[in-house]
Structure 1
């Protein structure tokens, strides 16, 4: 008789006699639940083994997103261009948000594209579990694959938006410099932060049914607090005459940090405070580590109910 069959026989005998609990029998024979959460290093290795699935799933979602429209994949270029025009007319011309900012079109669009990348990733992460319950219940795979795939999908969209942004920045009078070589570094750190944030919000979204209703209000408040439409230094210290530490706290906001660092790279007249790059590194490392750990802790509960 094999070991599992022997364990079943012993469990049935123990159940009739009441001598040994089933948990102890399972431990003695090295048995564990089929859906048990693996150890964290094993979990990370399983994710790496499924990297091709994650990339393919993200790419297929990106391709299928515009299949029902007449212009198809062309919308990946048209969408950032249309957004760029709307934001500039509304916040630059009508609301007069540019103030004393030089090259306000590049200033505004850099802020919008960088913030939108994080905003869309977090919003997609909130639905990554609840929107794929049938696949979660039918297949066995690390559930973190879904928030990761959604983040990669938004990264693919960002690559097109950044191409549009660089063209606009050059047209508005900013010459390419060696600092532009730092753009992939900023985007890498932001992607690491987005992955962590997406994992956290994915776990919260799996248990809090009303989170998707609250997220638009949360991200809108985050948008206004991140200096997307205005210069934090000018508005907080200059116009509002608040202490410098208030502006420094606003710069430590992760979205504001990534925006300011990217503006520092692309726009010569907009230098960023030195604390910005340190804030970016901190948020990337902290969010990635905490996000994976926090999501992994609830691995057994996803897809239930």
Structure 2
């Protein structure tokens, strides 16, 4: 008769003795907490959180003006007031309205479309640094944050578009098929804005002073994007390199496309050549490039 004794814990661990930490992790299927997934897996995870992204952006829109008596009306009033100030200074005092047909719709369109990009970039800068509590508490693709901020700005723009369409109609424009071109133009601009927001989110998570610097950079960008004046009219005698740089400016490209879609007096002669190719190229470059640039630092967000 023989007795069978259980092995001691030391005996059971004997086969693992001598293995490195990496070998032990591989043996028991362990992975680094918060490790960056492969790009394809990251895209899958982000798509799986699409409902969270849309719900989060809607909640932020509703909460943004809860302390103001006029509430979400400020989403429309803010760009309108900006347009009024620009009309007073540039249209009347500086005379940039001379030679521009339908200057009011021209100006309001430029202000609304540039504000969409401007707000997306500014919100992207703080997408990570301003949500550290949520990022450190929950595990999810961090790209959800800058994407949701872009969706938030898009929702605000769509609300403002009703005012823009009203202004355009008041100035004698009649709805026509070319207005449908606004849809692909906005889609391409949204992709561009999302890519910019992701790139700025990574930079903003590391450079804390970037949020203070960006308003000055964006104001300079606005002045070179033809928001208050016609680029085609002002660039007649400009050096070729200056004309080329201002024409391929992505903000100017998307503004011109929206003006061409909505304003009858803004003709194809005022558009730079291959404008749709440039719009798609900027969307692809910023969208894909910004996404990959953000993904590269996925495991760094919320640490430190």
Q: TM-score, normalised by structure 2?
A: 0.91
* 1:267 has 2:263 as partner: yes
Deviates more, 1:293-302 or 1:79-88: 79-88
User: For 1:159 and 1:86, how far apart are their aligned partners in 2?
Assistant: 22
Aligned to 1:256: 252
SS of 1:132's equivalent?
A: helix
Aligned to 1:164: 163
Aligned to 2:51: 52
Matches within 5 A, 1:279-298: 279-298=278-297
Aligned to 1:131: 130
User: For 1:69 and 1:58, how far apart are their aligned partners in 2?
Assistant: 19
SS of 2:169's equivalent?
A: helix
- Using a 3 Å threshold, how does the CA distance of structure 1 residues 90 and 10 change in structure 2: closer, same or farther? farther
Contact kept? 1:80, 1:164, Cα under 8 Å: no
User: For 1:10 and 1:41, how far apart are their aligned partners in 2?
Assistant: 39
User: For 1:298 and 1:43, how far apart are their aligned partners in 2?
Assistant: 12
User: For 1:31 and 1:247, how far apart are their aligned partners in 2?
Assistant: 57
Aligned to 2:213: 214
Aligned to 1:97: 96
Contact kept? 2:125, 2:200, Cα under 8 Å: yes
SS of 1:20's equivalent?
A: coil
Aligned to 1:115: 114
| Unaligned ranges ≥5, structure 2 | 1-8
Ranked by relative contact order (alpha carbons within 8 Å, sequence separation 6 or more), the top structure is 2
SS of 2:149's equivalent?
A: helix
Deviations for 1:108-131, whole angstroms, at most 9, x for unmatched residues? 111111111000000000001000
Aligned to 2:146: 147
Alpha-carbon distance, 1:246 to partner:
2.9
Aligned to 1:243: 239
| Unaligned ranges ≥5, structure 1 | none
Deviates more, 1:160-169 or 1:85-94: 85-94
Alpha-carbon distance, 1:10 to partner:
6.8
List structure 1 segments (4+ residues) > 4 angstroms apart after TM superposition: 8-11
Deviates more, 1:271-280 or 1:55-64: 271-280
- Using a 3 Å threshold, how does the CA distance of structure 1 residues 81 and 223 change in structure 2: closer, same or farther? closer
Aligned to 2:181: 182
Alpha-carbon distance, 1:164 to partner:
0.8
Alpha-carbon distance, 1:207 to partner:
0.8
SS of 1:278's equivalent?
A: helix
Deviations for 1:43-69, whole angstroms, at most 9, x for unmatched residues? 111111111111111111110111111
User: For 1:244 and 1:233, how far apart are their aligned partners in 2?
Assistant: 13
- Using a 3 Å threshold, how does the CA distance of structure 1 residues 268 and 129 change in structure 2: closer, same or farther? same
Aligned to 2:193: 194
Aligned to 1:79: 78
Contact kept? 2:80, 2:108, Cα under 8 Å: no
User: For 1:64 and 1:179, how far apart are their aligned partners in 2?
Assistant: 35
User: For 1:9 and 1:82, how far apart are their aligned partners in 2?
Assistant: 72
Larger Rg: 2
Contact kept? 2:57, 2:152, Cα under 8 Å: yes
Alpha-carbon distance, 1:80 to partner:
3.3
User: For 1:73 and 1:225, how far apart are their aligned partners in 2?
Assistant: 30
Deviations for 1:30-88, whole angstroms, at most 9, x for unmatched residues? 32112111111111111111111111111111101111111222323333333332222
Contact kept? 2:126, 2:211, Cα under 8 Å: yes
User: For 2:178 and 2:244, how far apart are their aligned partners in 1?
Assistant: 24
- Using a 3 Å threshold, how does the CA distance of structure 1 residues 167 and 22 change in structure 2: closer, same or farther? same
